[in-house]
Structure 1
Amino acid sequence: MRRLSLVHAAVLAGAASAAALTAVPAAAAETKTVDRGHDRTITFRADRAGEALVDVTAAAPGVSWANQGHESAVLSLYVDGRYATDDVVPAAFPISRQFALGHVRAGRHRLTLRFAADRSRGTRVQVSRTAVRVVSRGQAYLDLAHAPILYGRNGADWGGPFQNSSTDTPLVAWHEDVPAAVPGHRLLTYSYIWSNEDGGTSTPQLMARWGRTTDIEWIYQVEVDAQGRRVPGTAVIQAPNHVTQPFGGTYEGDHPLMQTCTLNNNICDTVDDPMRFFLSTSASLDAATEAREQIMDRNPWTYWVSDAESRREGKVEADPPTSSTTSIADPRDYLYLVVRKVTANPPNGATDWVGLSIGVRLKGDPTLYRSDHLFPDRSIQRDVPAATTVQLPPGTTSSDIAEITAIRVPTSAADPGSTIEVQAVNRAFFLGRDDEPQQSFLSGATPATLTKAAPTAVLYTG
């Protein structure tokens, strides 16, 4: 049976070094079926009060995110009768995910798995593993205690409630924890990855400038003091039109309640949808050295889900024109890269900026395949670790690559003369036949200087 895995071990090991954990796996190892009228209940004990996390491995027979009308079956999780989160199960093969369950007191608790028939296309869910952990103190506890709870999108013009059981579903989440300006204070930022976005950036633009078809957004940020308390007036969300707006909603403990409220997955602080997503944010990211898309790399099943949605929605063609604003080629025809670079003298601004394109030459092929398809506005503008893709002929492998080049791309006739310093390539891989990332064949320093006079440089030779 095909099995996709999550990489939780490193995250949990880090949490264990700073926090007390109670781990209670499911009492039985065999697969349990959850369907209409047949709940499954698991007991666990918390040695101390804390924030509970649960790993769930689940499959839904007859379901596929790629098939219209059969997208998912939904498992709802309850702790001591309290609704905690939905698990949208998008495949007939097992997928492992981690969810938050919120604050629990010391003592015994009941975790109930319930089939949510009102939001499911499938008829049952098969659960092969559950394991609960309770984080009780330390920085890991603080990061989890302030994590947001996200309710689903339900605009009447877009299909009403339960939309996220079949489109733009939340997949994974993480946090960033950095020192705030006030000594002893911390700035916590929480981000979500959705399977796609029904509005906003076009799919070809997403692949060229962001290196994926998922939607990735920060949704909540708050400053906490040395005692871990919210600093009044610092809690903000990414509201419609990507505006940073003060959070004015309600809290469940220290967890803010919010809702996806736009087609490009921006956030409102009022809640009125039945679906609830309390994804674990225990994963962390160093934004200075890692691209946000590398959270997907740690969760390879997310590529399968996002590709399935792109295909189902008609966004994938066998050979789309490079000028297409709606369609991409098969996702397995792309090279996926993360590049680190700095633009200076002057740095990039909102207009007249200088972007970076990645070019690929294949052995025995004179064509230079470019990530931007020769459209300057599809080059990489940002100077944080950035993902991109390069479309190549079907069946291309790493052994076919002769060289990978960096190309300086002015986006207007008024070239500001900026210099691009390419520092490194974090990873470069293709997707396999199962739409999972294959092993990266390039990772490390690739120093190169791109100027107006010398706009290209070779980063890799095969």
Structure 2
Amino acid sequence: MRSRARSAAFGLAGALVGAPLVLVPAAPATAAAPASAAAGTITVKRGGPARTLTFTTRRAGEAVIAFTATAPGVSWARKGAESAVVAIFVDGRHVTDLVVLSADPTPRSLGLGRVGPGKHKVTLRFAKGSAPSARRVVLARPTVRLPQADQLALRHAPVVVGRTGWPFGNPYQNATTDAPLIAWHETRPATTPGHRIIEYSVVWSNEDGGTDSPALMARWGRTTDIEWVYRVEVDASGRRVAGTGVYQAPQHLTLKFTGRYEGDHPVLQTCTSNNNMCDVITPKAPLRFLLDASRTKPAARAREVVMDREPWTYRIMAQEMLREGKIEKLSDPATKAVGDQRTYLFVELAKRTGAPTGSGSAPGVSLGVRLKRDPSKLYRSDHDEPTWSIERDGPAATTVELPQGTTVADIASIEAIRRPVGIGDNGAPATVTSINRGFFLRSGYLPQRSAISWTGSLTLTPQSPTATLWRPMA
């Protein structure tokens, strides 16, 4: 009786999520699967049969599958236990892979590509590339939907083929390092009236090349890698304007996309150690990712806000640093090496730079924190390294390393520091206008609730290079 009730509830939930499309997932088990599979839960086992989920839609469109994923025995923090990989097919076509990075339940969503009206079958198989300790993946509350409001963004989202290190590398690299975690899109008007530009970005768990980890923490406020991947112009009907597709190529170059499309999805491949793209695909590359790109980012916030909305990405970020030996054994704010990431204050500020008054290098801004127990000591986000201050204007994230055990209640003040990033000083003022959030990571490397915010306007000059932005309320 209880099993039938749960199954009915699952079907009803699918129908409601798809409204007015009436998406109706069927019982998520194949005839060959064990009858003990719980309604609303799919378990995919190493060496076991493929599992299936069917859904029906009354119109064509881009589909998304969502679930809570867990893989017992898996930990992104342990070598040999990094992940479990599930290959996902729609009507027999390999659409995307899911890399499950944790034994902890994690909400995930993936694109399934364009489907036509009628009934469709999603097939899930335990795949190569999984860690030796991975035995099964449990997907709870799987739901397929065609989100009407996000169709345009989903329609043009890139397929990202996994990094292989071809011809001699590991073809399953993204199952053990630099895993693609989440994607999002941003839109802006194009020059042609009625046209829009859509840009897609991806968050990877880390980058094996490019900016080193201490500089990432200082200049970007995280050790994940965030890169824009693909940008395209669409007309008023949502059609791709021929010749407008570009991608971020090696050396961060912007190149015209000349590769192949699957429908309107460009097929790109992660081809560098710092997660830049190529539009020529390695033959037989086994992993491919069609991430759910329906997420957006508020215009007045830093890119890192997409991680704030998916807190599990911070845990994966920290675990990769631990596994790859990029964390110093004894955390010390006096060193430039990355310490325990739970000792950092994660801050987002907003600033703008004025016109220069002379020659020389432009100023950057860093943050300094003073603690109540010793307010004479200043802990700096840039570790007193000029090139680690924040040059870019607008919202920007950074971190400040503090002694172990520090909490927001221990902070006496946060101040902004103007400093030229190179030789000389061009005299330009730098105005800080907000602190948008400030938090520490909890014991499980998940963000605490932000307890720091400030708005105002404080201008830093060569004559007055510092200003206090925030103090705790009395």
Secondary structure of the structure 2 residue equivalent to 1:117 = coil
Residue 56 to residue 271, structure 1, CA distance change in 2 (3 Å): farther
Task: Check 1:348–1:197 CA distance in 2 against 1; reply closer, same or farther (3 A cut).
Answer: farther
**Rounded Cα–Cα distance in structure 1 between residues aligned with 2:400 and 2:82:** 29
Aligned positions of 1:245-284 closer than 5 A: 245-272=255-282, 273-284=285-296
Distance 2:358 2:222 in 1: 23
State the partner residue of 1:130.
142
Return the structure number with greater relative CO, CA threshold 8 A, min gap 6. 1
Change (3 A) 1:45 1:88: same
* Structure 1 residues without counterparts, runs of 5 or longer: 1-15
Aligned twin of 2:394: 384
Kept in 1, the 8 Å contact 2:50–2:126? The answer is: yes
Does residue 438 (structure 1) correspond to residue 448 (structure 2)? The answer is yes
Contact 1:64 1:71 in 2 (8 A): yes
Q: Deviations over 1:62-99 (max 9, x none)?
A: 11000011100111111111111111011111111110
Go from structure 1 to structure 2 and tell me whether the alpha carbon gap of 1:363 and 1:60 turns closer, same or farther (over 3 Å shift).
same
1:233 alignment partner, SS class: coil
Deviations 1:205-262 (A, max 9, x none): 0000000000000000001111211112210000000000000100000000010000
Aligned residues: 440
Q: Could you tell me whether the CA contact under 8 Å between 2:62 and 2:112 is conserved in 1? A: yes
Matched, 1:184 2:199: no
Which amino acid in the other structure matches residue 293 of structure 1? E
Deviation at 1:135, TM superposition (A): 3.1
> What amino acid is the match of 2:301?
E
1:325-370 CA distances to partner (integer Å, 9 max, x unpaired)?
A: xx30000000001111000113999x71200010001112121100
Kept after mapping to 2: 8 A contact 1:359/1:370? yes
Per the TM alignment, residue 155 of structure 1 is displaced from its structure 2 partner at its CA by 1.0
- Taking structure 2 as the reference length, the TM-score comes to 0.89
Question: Aligned partners of 1:342, 1:348: CA distance in 2, in Å?
Answer: 18
For 1:297 and 1:341, how far apart are their aligned partners in 2? Answer: 20
Give the CA deviation at 1:323.
5.3
Compared with structure 1, are the counterparts of its residues 141 and 444 closer, same or farther at alpha carbon in structure 2 (3 Å cutoff)?
A: farther
Does residue 331 of the first structure (1) align with residue 341 of the second (2)? Answer: yes
Which one-letter code corresponds to 1:352 in the other structure?
A: S
Residue number in structure 2 paired with 1:421: 431
Written as runs of structure 1 = structure 2, the 5 A alignment for 1:117-196 is 117-121=128-132, 122-136=134-148, 140-156=150-166, 159-196=169-206
Partner of residue 464 from structure 2, selected from 443, 454, 458: 454
- Residue 406 of structure 1 and its aligned partner are, at CA, apart by 0.7
From 286, 302, 310, give the equivalent of 2:298: 286
**2:9 alignment counterpart:** none
Match among 61, 70, 81 for residue 92 of structure 2:
81
CA distance in 2: counterparts of 1:294 and 1:48, whole angstroms: 34
Residues 347, 22 of structure 1: CA spacing in aligned structure 2 closer, same or farther, 3 A cutoff?
farther
Q: Which amino acid aligns with 2:122?
A: L
- Aligned to 1:204, the other structure's residue is in SS state helix
Task: Note closer, same or farther for the CA distance 1:22–1:285 as it changes in structure 2 (3 Å cut).
Answer: farther
What is the TM-score when the length of structure 1 is the normalising length?
0.91
1:311 matched to 2:322: yes
Shift of 1:30: 5.1
Which is further off, 116-125 or 210-219? Answer: 116-125
Moved more, 385-394 or 442-451: 442-451
Q: Is the 8 A contact 1:117 1:123 kept in 2?
A: no
SS at match of 2:367: strand
| Conservation of the 8 A alpha-carbon contact between 2:74 and 2:82 | yes
SS in 2 for 1:207: helix
- Alpha-carbon deviation of 1:133? 0.7
Matches within 5 A, 1:16-55: 22-24=22-24, 27=27, 29=39, 31-35=41-45, 36-55=47-66
User: Aligned partners of 1:427 and 1:92: how far apart in 2?
Assistant: 29
Aligned residue type for 2:177: T
Q: Select the residue among 60, 64, 67 that pairs with 2:71.
A: 60
Q: 1:99-127 CA distances to partner (integer Å, 9 max, x unpaired)? A: 00000011111112211134443121122
Task: Tell me if structure 2 keeps the 8 A contact 1:21–1:135.
Answer: no
- Asked whether the equivalents of residues 260 and 267 of structure 1 are also in contact (C-alpha less than 8 Å), the reply is yes
| 1:364 match | 373
Determine which of 229, 235, 240 is the counterpart of 2:239: 229
The answer on 1:72 being equivalent to 2:90 is no
Could you tell me whether the CA contact under 8 Å between 2:454 and 2:470 is conserved in 1? no
Identity %: 53
CA distance in 1, matches of 2:187, 2:458: 31
- Report the Cα distance in structure 2 between the residues aligned to 1:348 and 1:282, rounded to whole angstroms: 45
1:350-400 deviation line (CA, Å, top 9, x unaligned): x71200010001112121100001111000010021100000011111111
1:13 is aligned to none
Structure 2: distance between partners of 1:348 and 1:231: 44
- Residues 118 and 331 of structure 1: is their aligned pair in 2 closer, same or farther, counting only changes over 3 Å? closer
Counting only pairs closer than 5 Å after superposition, residues 181-220 of structure 1 correspond to structure 2 as 181-220=191-230
Is the 1:336–1:390 Cα contact (8 Å) retained in structure 2?
A: yes
Q: What's the secondary structure of 1:61's corresponding residue?
A: coil
Name the aligned partner's letter for residue 400 of structure 1. D
